[in-house]
């Protein structure tokens, strides 16, 4: 099945649902079994609506199984807990999503779990910090602010040879444009609140990996912490997944055009976009990415306050930190950032990030142009 057909049709079972073209929301906590056992007991463990989303996403990621969570962070923390134990060590890329880094560095410290942050640019760097008790390499490639990348094949081979697990946040690329399990990465996580949902109306997360790992997670990390996806959320996720390929095609086409426009703009100092040859990860991306999505970062040629003043002048970019929806957004992530924060995350001073939505690229470029031209 192609990815398009997985998104539109995998999991269809019209006879099971009275011929309904869209499967119903099983909005119930309990499944009874007085006369017949249908294989479901309680929605915290499994639910037929959620299972369709899980089957689609597992197939898209080329994994054996998937489990949906109430948020991306629910999936990230469950995935990390699957790999770690008391007094173990994790290596994490410093460009990873902030709350994931915080979960590792501050929350898990209380349980004796230690973390070392690396740039992820070379295996030598990882080799230097790995310890006998290292249990997990936590990756995010491309990352969501500067789109830092790790060589997935090399890191997976390195970790496998040492019995270390690998977990990657693949939210930026979506399962359409990168499939880390192909390279031997053990587990993939997505925030479904971004492109998978695509309409800025759900918070959700997904873990994908071996059937054995996902079964354990369903009964341990997901059932015991309880961050399971709600059936209505799953239904909205399914609706989003049906149009994922056409949305991503549009996001990619527009973002490529907007990124090239920004790179040639006199008020822009530097652009970060993995689809541009100027991006440090461009060559690696050509090996492991099948496409590029709608996030672009750039550093305007201006002081902090001037950048802040420019943002409200944009008509089509709302100011907010999320991304991956139908709407265009901007966030001043590196404006006013401290030296320490810039060093520890790799986010350059003055960086702003835009999420290119589904508006026309020409409209967005005209909007960016008029706002940038107000900079002194």
Ligand X SMILES: Cc1ncc(COP(=O)(O)O)c(C=O)c1O
Q: Binding to ligand X (CB under 6 A): which residues in 274-333?
A: 322
Report residue 105 as tokens.
């560095």
Output the smallest distance, CB 71 to ligand X, in A: 4
Q: Which of 144, 250, 252, 345 binds ligand X (CB under 6 A)?
A: 144
Strand-pairing partners, residue 295, are: 355
Q: Which of 53, 57, 80, 203 binds ligand X (CB under 6 A)?
A: 203
The answer to whether the CB of 172 falls within 8 A of the CB of 188 is: no
Residue 191 is a binding residue for ligand X (CB under 6 A): yes
Output the smallest distance, CB 187 to ligand X, in A: 14
In eight-state DSSP terms, residue 30 is B
Judged by CB under 6 A, the stretch of 1-9, 65-73, 125-133, 350-358 that binds ligand X is 65-73
Q: Which of 51, 61, 151, 169 binds ligand X (CB under 6 A)?
A: 169
Q: Of 270, 212, 258, 244, which Cα lies nearest the Cα of 361?
A: 258
Residue 334 is a binding residue for ligand X (CB under 6 A): no
Residue 97 is a binding residue for ligand X (CB under 6 A): yes
Residue 174 is a binding residue for ligand X (CB under 6 A): no
Q: Is the peptide bond before 148 cis (omega within 30 degrees of 0)?
A: no
Q: Which of 23, 72, 240, 334 binds ligand X (CB under 6 A)?
A: 72
Phi, psi for 123 (deg, rounded to 5): -70, -30
Output the smallest distance, CB 22 to ligand X, in A: 24
Residue 246 to residues 171, 234, 250, 251, 365: CA-CA distances in angstroms? 17, 20, 6, 9, 21
Contacts of 278 (CB under 8 A, 6+ apart): 263, 271
Q: How many residues bind ligand X (CB under 6 A)?
A: 12
Output the smallest distance, CB 180 to ligand X, in A: 14
How many helices and strands, by DSSP H and E, does the chain display? Answer: 15, 12
Output the smallest distance, CB 169 to ligand X, in A: 5
The answer to whether the CB of 176 falls within 8 A of the CB of 248 is: yes
Residue 61 is a binding residue for ligand X (CB under 6 A): no
Which run of H or of E encompasses 137? strand 134-140
Q: Which of 6, 58, 60, 73 binds ligand X (CB under 6 A)?
A: 73
Tell me how crowded residue 178 is: count the other CB atoms within 10 A of its CB.
24
Q: Which is nearer to ligand X, 243 or 322 (CB)?
A: 322
Interface residue list for ligand X (CB under 6 A) = 71-73, 97, 144, 169, 171, 191, 193, 203, 205, 322
């Amino acid at each position: 099945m192609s990815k398009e057909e997985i998104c539109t049709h995998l999991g269809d079972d019209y006879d099971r649902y009275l011929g309904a073209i869209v499967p119903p929301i099983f909005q119930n906590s309990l499944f009874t079994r007085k006369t017949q056992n249908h294989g479901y007991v309680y929605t915290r463990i499994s639910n037929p609506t959620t299972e369709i989303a899980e089957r689609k996403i597992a197939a898209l990621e080329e994994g054996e199984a998937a489990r949906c969570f109430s948020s991306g962070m629910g999936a990230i923390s469950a995935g990390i807990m699957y790999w770690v134990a008391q007094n173990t060590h994790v290596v994490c890329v410093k460009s990873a999503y902030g709350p994931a880094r915080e979960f590792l560095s501050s929350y898990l410290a209380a349980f004796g779990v230690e973390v070392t942050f690396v740039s992820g640019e070379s295996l030598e760097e990882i080799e230097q910090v790995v310890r006998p008790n290292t249990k997990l390499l936590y990756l995010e490639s491309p990352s969501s602010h500067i789109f830092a990348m790790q060589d997935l094949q090399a890191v997976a081979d390195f970790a496998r040879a040492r019995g270390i697990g690998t977990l990657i946040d693949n939210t930026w690329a979506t399962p359409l444009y990168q499939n880390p399990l192909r390279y031997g990465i053990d587990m993939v996580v997505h925030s479904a609140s971004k492109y998978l949902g695509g309409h800025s109306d759900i918070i959700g997360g997904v873990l994908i990996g071996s059937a054995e790992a996902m079964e354990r997670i369903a009964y341990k990390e997901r059932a015991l912490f309880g961050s399971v996806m709600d059936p209505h959320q799953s239904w909205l996720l399914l609706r989003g997944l049906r149009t994922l390929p056409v949305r991503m095609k549009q996001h990619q086409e527009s973002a490529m055009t907007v990124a090239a426009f920004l790179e040639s703009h006199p008020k822009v100092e530097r652009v970060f976009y993995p689809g541009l040859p100027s991006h440090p990860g461009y060559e690696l991306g050509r090996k492991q990415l099948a496409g590029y999505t709608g996030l672009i970062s750039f550093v305007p040629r201006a002081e902090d306050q001037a950048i802040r003043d420019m943002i409200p002048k944009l008509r089509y970019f709302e100011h907010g930190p999320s991304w991956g929806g139908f709407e265009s957004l901007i966030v001043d992530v590196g404006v006013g950032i401290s030296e320490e924060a810039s060093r520890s995350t790799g986010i350059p001073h003055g960086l702003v990030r835009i999420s290119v939505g589904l508006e026309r690229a020409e409209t967005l470029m005209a909007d960016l142009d008029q706002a940038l031209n107000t900079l002194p």
